[in-house]
Amino acid sequence: MSDLRDLYQDVILEHSKAPRNYREQPAANHKAEGFNPLCGDHFTIFITLDGDKIQDISFQGSGCAISKASASMMTQTLKGKTRAEAEQLFTRFHDLVTGHAEGGAGSETELGKLEVFSGVSEFPVRVKCATLAWHTLNAALEGKQEAVTTE
């Protein structure tokens, strides 16, 4: 059971049951849908960018405990961050869950609470679950603004 507890840490289970920022943002100026065709998980990420800063970020959708907790904690972490910081965090998070993480960190890009996902690296088939929200975030940030309903 110890291995399983590395993956299903209490924080992760708690976020999967009560995800934060789980709401639509009709006024979001960036939005993208991400899904994993293999398992049917799908999420929509909503971002309100103010210049370069993520003023608000939320999500909706369905998926496993890992993907849902990852989306929830990602939105918590990224609120108030800049685009560049978000991109750096994604790189570090990706390294963490794929087992390529290195020690030491610049203060702006510290993973903090997201470190609970380190157990995912022991479960390679679950890496996609943990990174789905982040890939969707990237798509939302890269998407052209006119493609999103801003009115």
Partner 1 sequence: MSIAAKPVSGVFDVERVRADFPILEQKVHGKPLVYLDNAATSQKPRAVIDAISHYYEGTNANIHRAVHHLSEQATEEYEAARITAQKFINAGSPTEIIFVRGTTEGINLVAQTFGRANIHAGDEVIVTDMEHHSDIVPWQLLAQDRGAKLRVAPINDRGELILEEYEKLLGPKTKLVCVTHVSNALGTINPVRQIIEMAHAQGVPVLVDGAQAVPHLKVDVQALDCDFYSFSGHKIYGPTGIGVLYGKKALLEAMPPYQGGGDMILSVTFEKTTYNRLPYKFEAGTPDIAGVIGLGAALKYLTGIGIQKIGGYEHELLDYATAAVSKIPGLKIIGTAKEKAGVLSFTLENIHPHDIGTILDQEGIAIRTGHHCSQPVMRRFGVDSTARASFAMYNTKQEVDALARGIEKVREVFA
Q: Would you tell me which residues interact with partner 1 (CB under 8 A)?
A: 1, 3-4, 7-8, 13, 38-42, 62-66, 68, 123, 125-126, 129
Minimum distance from CB of 15 to partner 1 (Å)?
Answer: 13
* Closest by CA position to 74, among listed 60, 88, 57: 57
Is the CB of 53 or the CB of 128 nearer to partner 1? Answer: 128
Q: How far apart are CA 92 and CA 82, in angstroms?
A: 15
Q: Determine contact, residues 13/5, Cβ cutoff 8 Å.
A: no
Is the CB of 12 or the CB of 57 nearer to partner 1? Answer: 12
Minimum distance from CB of 42 to partner 1 (Å)?
Answer: 8
Is the CB of 52 or the CB of 122 nearer to partner 1? Answer: 122
CA-CA-CA-CA dihedral for 41, 151, 52, 77, to nearest 10: -40
